[in-house]
Structure 1
Amino acid sequence: MSLRRLSLLLTGLMLSSPLLAASTQYPLTVDNCGVPLTFAQPPQKTVTIGQAATEMLYALGLSQQVIGTSLWFNDVLPQFKDANDHIARLADNTPSFESVTGKRPDFVPVQFEWMVGPQGAVGTRQQFHDLNIPTYILPSDCEGKNNRVGADGTRLAAFKVETLYKTLAQLAMIFDVQDRGQQLITGYQARLAKAVEQAKTQGSHNVSAVFWFSSPDLNSDPFVAGRKGIPNFMLDTLGMRNVIDSDEEWPTVGWETIAKANPTILVIARMDRRRFPADDHEKKLAFLTSDPVTRNMDAVKHDRIVIMDASAMESSVRLFDGIEQLGAAVQSATPAP
């Protein structure tokens, strides 16, 4: 091949392919929720606290760097099952500080600040950092949010999907896989834009909804999505309306109040954990169709109930599955003119 033809070929490849991201330069310092984290090299022994953080690392192709996981709501995504089967699960729910540090990790990404934070159920960031173990809180759970108010914190500002993209970009930089991170972000942005366009054509502005996550007891007030969290972002993005008016992440609201608001659809969380009786979505369905208040709601009478993985209601790679599922339900849920 002549030099001229080789030059033309390389030029064509450069024009038809996205530019490669620059490699990480170590030592790398990243600001995480106001805490500077410095990495001399990519982490090799990561323990995750939270399914969202775990599946983000898997999506970035980093399963070989994960040595332990914890805090699961759903079974792992099918495409990650083989890799996940070989990684220790320290706990289905909250792991102990000793079980995490006992794996001698060099990095601990955390989904919720109430797990590792000032009042951490597992421990404080300082406890981990005293052992030279950097902890990384997903920005979506600390930026624009006060986690010292309410069981799951209170949003000071509405959730923005940019914090999810920021998490992916920062994790990709920490592990020096920026190309993979950018590919994921670009793909998720395209899926989100497509879901929004489809919802607009289906009259989503006429649809209201409530998200029921779980309940301490089936006869008690349910945990439902507030107006500034991830589910509300999904509704706002698709042009739908949340009937719950609260800044808490997952406030408890009485069924009488919800029934009076009469949402067009009910979205109920499906999860594999069994911390509360209402974690079982089948029990949720049985309650909705038998309770004298809920069974008369239009969404129940007309079977406008969406069953969504709990992890899709979090700032995770499953959020995009959830928003596509919600968008697909708009057409059947739109009231007749």
Structure 2
Amino acid sequence: MKQTLITATLLASAALPLHAQETTYPLNLTNCGVEMSFDTAPGSAVTIGQSATEILYSLGLAPKVSGTSVWFNPVLPEFAEVNEGIERMADNDPSFESVVAKKPGLVAVQYEWHVGESGIVGTREMFRDVGVPTYIMPADCDTKDNSTGGDGTRVGAFDTASVYKGIRELAAIFDVQSAGEGLVAELEASERDAIARAEGLDLPGDLTAVFWFSSADLEIDPYVAGRLGAPGYMMSNLGIENIIESDEEWPTVGWESIARADPDIIVIAYMDRRRFPADDVEKKLAFLRTDPVTSQMTAVQERRIVQMDAHAMSATMRSIYGLGTLSQALSEMSFE
């Protein structure tokens, strides 16, 4: 994939007009409701969220990243070596003090609940007061209301346009716009390929699915995907109906209700994070196969359980890879 990315970036760079390859400063933009201005490209960055980290790496900006945090899964394989040389400040939530101590030119953030009005790391005003600008990935605020608490509520369906917006804006901030266009071109091609693969299959017209991210405890209601988030994007593009009708990003729904809906497919998240027992994909599988309720579900009995990178289930660049994972899984299933 690394070579593909480099090739796509070079081709996109060659195809762009010269004026699109350089940023004109001062650069002004509105990010998640906050007006921002940059007089020059930031000299360094700290990331709070794996999505922000991997986008900066994909734009060739790893040398500017001085610290990372909030990890769900291993970094994309093509960045494993460079990531080893960059400080991981925290697997989960870093402290405000540790981020500021890096004196970053920019803090790039995946989730508004980390840095926002009620940010658990800090508010944007706190960072602004010490002279540190913050950029939140638009996928977490466009079409989303984070004032509802928790993981927020979608007010409109997630679309990868918000991911591409984030890539392009970060590329503009750091004056690497040609790299941004190359990355977007690669991801758009991956989307088209995944959708075309599914369209070429003889799939039933009434396929249903549920996405299980995790559970605070295996004995209680699981966190499953609402209809408007990244899993909803995958399902709608591949002709699958989500049995969950909530607009919450990750509502809790009882297994009895899920079993009554009896989805054709169950997609479960795998991750390195271990906040909850059900973060472990093997425990998810064991539960589905042995619980008196879940073991009777069609998807379990027909072995139509898809394992997906947890990070792909969030509204990130990896959601496009998740679309490919699900499309490929569909091509290997039987619905007779």
User: TM tier, shorter chain?
Assistant: over 0.9
Amino acid at match of 2:55: M
Do 1:28 and 1:38's aligned partners in 2 also have CA atoms closer than 8 Å? yes
Deviation at 1:19, TM superposition (A): 3.7
Gaps of 5+ in 1: 1-12
Instruction: Provide the residue aligned with 1:303 in structure 2.
Output: 303
Query: What secondary structure does 1:98 align onto?
Result: helix
Rg (Cα) greater in structure: 1
| Equivalent in the alignment of 2:6 | none
Alignment partners' CA distance in 2, 1:263 and 1:26: 52
Alignment partner of 1:206: what SS?
coil
1-structure distance, mates of 2:16, 2:134: 32
2-structure distance, mates of 1:170, 1:223: 32
Could you tell me how far 1:313 is from its partner in structure 2?
1.2
Root-mean-square deviation (CA, aligned residues, Å) is 1.6
Q: Does 2:134 match 1:135?
A: yes
SS of 1:83 mapped into structure 2: helix
The residue that corresponds to 1:10 in the other structure is none
For residues 265-304 of structure 1, the C-alpha deviation after alignment (integer angstroms, 9 at most, x for no partner) is: 1110000011111111011011111100001111111111
Counterpart of 1:329?
329
Say whether the 8 Å CA contact 1:73–1:273 is kept in structure 2: yes
Q: Secondary structure at the match of 2:213?
A: strand
Query: What amino acid is aligned across from residue 209 of structure 2 in structure 1?
Result: A
Corresponding residue number in structure 1 for 2:150: 151
What displacement does 1:332 show?
Answer: 3.5
Alignment correspondent of 2:190: 191
Letter matched to residue 141 of structure 2: C
Q: Structure 1 residue 317: deviation in Å?
A: 2.4
Shift of the alpha carbon at 1:207?
2.1
Displacement of 1:206 in angstroms is 3.5
Residue deviations 1:70-105 (CA, integer Å, cap 9, x gap)? 000001111101111011111111111111111111
CA contact (8 A) 1:110 1:138 kept: yes
Contact kept in structure 1, 2:214 and 2:269, CA below 8 Å: yes
Q: Match of 2:48, SS?
A: coil
2:122 aligned residue:
123
Q: Is the 8 A contact 1:128 1:135 kept in 2?
A: yes
Pairwise CA distance, 1:334 = 4.9
The 8 Å contact of residues 264 and 333 in structure 1, kept in 2 or not, is answered as no
Preserved CA contact (<8 Å) 1:150 1:248: no
TM-score (normalised: structure 1): 0.93
Query: What is the letter of the counterpart of residue 273 of structure 2?
Result: R
Post-superposition, which runs of at least 4 consecutive aligned residues in structure 1 deviate over 6 A?
none
- For residues 202-258 of structure 1, what are the alpha-carbon distances to aligned partners after superposition, in whole Å with 9 as ceiling and x for unaligned? 144332111100000011100000001011011101111111110000000000011
Give, in whole Å, the separation in 1 of the partners of 2:242 and 2:187. Answer: 23
Q: Is the partner of 1:129 in helix, strand or coil? A: helix
Matched, 1:265 2:260: no
Match runs of 1:201-220 below 5 Å: 201-204=200-203, 205-220=205-220
Cα contact 2:139–2:316 (8 A) shared by 1:
no
Question: Structure 2, unaligned stretches of length 5 or more?
Answer: 1-10
Partner of 1:59: 58
1:1-337 alignment runs, 5 A limit: 17-20=15-18, 21-204=20-203, 205-336=205-336
3-state DSSP class of the match of 2:21?
A: coil
User: 8 Å contact 2:229–2:315 — kept in the other structure?
Assistant: no
Alpha-carbon distance between aligned partners in 2 of 1:327 and 1:113, rounded to the nearest angstrom: 30
Specify the SS of the correspondent of 1:321. Answer: helix
CA distance in 2, matches of 1:257, 1:200: 30
What is the identity, as a one-letter code, of the residue corresponding to 1:82?
E
Q: Structure 1 vs Structure 2: percent identity of aligned residues?
A: 53
Q: Distance in 2 between matches of 1:303 and 1:281?
A: 15
Distance in 2 between the 1:103 and 1:18 partners? 35
TM-score (norm. length: structure 2): 0.93
Report how far residue 150 of structure 1 moved. Answer: 4.2
Give the Cα–Cα distance (whole angstroms) in 1 for the partners of residues 314 and 51 of structure 2: 7
Instruction: Check conservation: 2:288, 2:295, Cα contact below 8 A.
Output: yes
Deviation at 1:191, TM superposition (A): 1.3
Cα displacement (A) at 1:198? 1.3
